[in-house]
Every structure is written in C-alpha cells, then in structure tokens.
Amino acid sequence: MSCRAFSRRIEYKTLEELFTKFDVDEIELDFVPTERNSPLREFLTVIFGEAPSPGCVISRNVFESRSKLAQVPQEIANG
C-alpha cells in the first residue's frame, strides 16, 4: 500500500475487509522493516502496541479493539 493510501487512513478498512471476506481470526503479515515502509510500521505499532516484527500476526479481536481507538471519527476527518 502506498504512502498516499496511508495518508487517507484506508489501512483500517483494508484489514477489516480482509477479516470479513476470508472470515479469519488472524492475519499473518510478511512484514520486513525498511527505510521506505515507515507509514506501515507506524500503523502496525498502533495496532500491536509495539513495533512489528517479521511474520507478525494480527488477531481480529486486537485489531477491532485498537482500530476503534486509533481511527479519527468521520465527522472530524471531514472537517
């Protein structure tokens, strides 16, 4: 996902759709920290509560609880 996509905060909706479409309780990410993926690293740090590591796994429950706290309400985002 590009930095431009992350600036629109669609990463939350993307993961939500993956959990729903595939009806899974966990998603494993093939994450490798690099100099160019800091937006993804920051997003995953919010979700995990710590820096992500290679092969990290996001559970549906953790994602749902943390994403609700992290997302900007639509009324605020639209100004």
With vertex at residue 3, the alpha carbon angle to CA 62 and CA 61, rounded to the nearest 5 degrees, is: 5
What is the extent of the structural domain holding 59?
3-77
pLDDT digits 0-9 by tens, 23-69: 999 999 999 989 888 888 988 998 888 999 999 999 999 999 888 76
Q: In terms of Cα–Cα distance, which of 27, 75, 33 is closest to 50?
A: 33
Q: In terms of Cα–Cα distance, which of 58, 60, 48, 61 is closest to 23?
A: 60
Query: How many domains does the chain divide into?
Result: 1
Prediction pTM value: 0.73
